[in-house]
Amino acid sequence: MDAINTGDTAFILVSAALVMFMTPGLALFYGGMVRSKNVLGTIMHSFFILGLVTVEWVLWGYSNAFGPDLGGIIGSLDWFGLSGVGTTPFKDYAATIPHQTFMIFQMMFAVITPALITGTFAERIKFSTFVIFTLLWCTLVYNPVAHWVWGIGGWIRNLGALDFAGGTVVHINSGIAALAAALVIGKRKGYGHEPFHPHNLPMTIMGAAILWFGWFGFNAGSALAANGLAASAFTATHIAAAAATLSWVCTEWMYRGKPTTLGAASGCVAGLVAITPAAGFVGPISALIIGLAAGVLCYFAIFLKHKMGYDDALDVVGVHGVGGTFGALATGLFASKAVNEAGNNGLFFGNPALFGTQLIAVLVTLVYSFVVTIIILKVLDWTMGLRVEHEDEEAGLDLSQHSEVGYNL
């Protein structure tokens, strides 16, 4: 058995803590963008998920996603309640850290993914339905997709598709689920003829900064060791985020005449999303190109909702769906074995086949997540109801769902 490496273990535990911090960071990022009457409801979505998905992950989530494979489709329940997930390494995932360290790191990914979706149905969903939706979505969508892409025996992993830190599992998955949710749940009352101003952009920018900070754990930690690959992923992550901040702001500056702070915050997140699948496979210049392209692409992607008429309240589809899809495909273009021997070469490094593999992984995730999310939501709509009453929507979710108000000024 391999020995535990204390440096690796320390680094992954800290990385897990960094990724944990992203979820409350996301709560602030989203919380600032809604109207003040919905600030607590929006923050609560992310914060409550920290509790809910942690418990789900301990009981069956980790076992379903990473446990012993059943036909390439799902992990068995052998590790239910973290049975057998102890302090000795499970070398098929990470040879030099305790199995529990790997588990807790993965838990933080499982937590933030459904939290990302909440941006789409902000300001109108019933809290009780949101709780059941999140449990069902994690069980029926996140856990299987995580198993396919990352689990030993997972069929997409066996195809050779690359997803370093969750472009497919986290961002495409949540982004397309967000589109499904926006379509099924419908528009906010007054959408299109009343303005929905973000009520606290400083809060949003602070949230974006926390996301950027936490993302170093997300991507560098995905090396699963404190080594050169972690340094390379950290570097690529930061470069892409910075480049996308520049390109988003400059695009809107040219296109709309003013450089906005919400644009800067959105740009950095778009860059972080896009580099996530590629972070451990690409060099600095590739990261720069991916980031620059992501900022421009995601900026124009947010106009899709105006064109198509759905109400994705906080642009989860435009930023995570489009950014994640672009990043996963860009991995097929820019990946290089010179950066990561365990990866593969992309199209630009002489291996067009990888792009095809990436395309399959992307399409499968898009279709599966979209269809299953629609089914879950339709069933919930018939049984519990998805939306709050009109009167409650008017009063705001803070008061109607939680009997609180965010501000007494």
Partner 1 sequence: MKKIEAIIKPFKLDEIKEALQRLDVKGMTISEVKGFGRQKGHTEIYRGAEYVVDFIPKVKLELVLDDSQVPPVLKALQESARTGKIGDGKIFVLPVEEVVRIRTGETGSAAI
Residue 276 C-beta: closest distance to partner 1, Å:
21
Smaller CB separation from partner 1, 143 or 251: 251
Beta carbons within 8 Å of 21's beta carbon, 6+ residues apart: 210, 213, 214, 217
Residue 61 C-beta: closest distance to partner 1, Å:
33
Residue 294 C-beta: closest distance to partner 1, Å:
15
Residues that bind partner 1 (CB under 8 A): 195, 197-198, 252, 255-256, 258, 260, 262-263, 266, 299, 302-303, 306, 315
Smaller CB separation from partner 1, 264 or 333: 264
Smaller CB separation from partner 1, 196 or 348: 196
Residue 252 C-beta: closest distance to partner 1, Å:
7
Beta carbons within 8 Å of 374's beta carbon, 6+ residues apart: 180, 183, 184
Q: Compute how many other C-beta atoms are within 10 angstroms of the C-beta atom of residue 136.
A: 17
Report the C-alpha gap between 69 and 78 in whole angstroms.
Answer: 10
Report the C-alpha gap between 144 and 222 in whole angstroms.
Answer: 19
Residue 330 C-beta: closest distance to partner 1, Å:
23
271, 244 Cβ separation under 8 angstroms? yes
Type of residue found at 354:
L
Smaller CB separation from partner 1, 315 or 398: 315
Smaller CB separation from partner 1, 121 or 142: 121
Report the C-alpha gap between 222 and 237 in whole angstroms.
Answer: 12
Smaller CB separation from partner 1, 265 or 293: 265
Residue 256 C-beta: closest distance to partner 1, Å:
5
Residue 302 C-beta: closest distance to partner 1, Å:
6
Q: Which of 145, 133, 156 is nearest to 65 (CA)?
A: 145
Residue 306 C-beta: closest distance to partner 1, Å:
7
Smaller CB separation from partner 1, 315 or 393: 315
Residue 265 C-beta: closest distance to partner 1, Å:
10
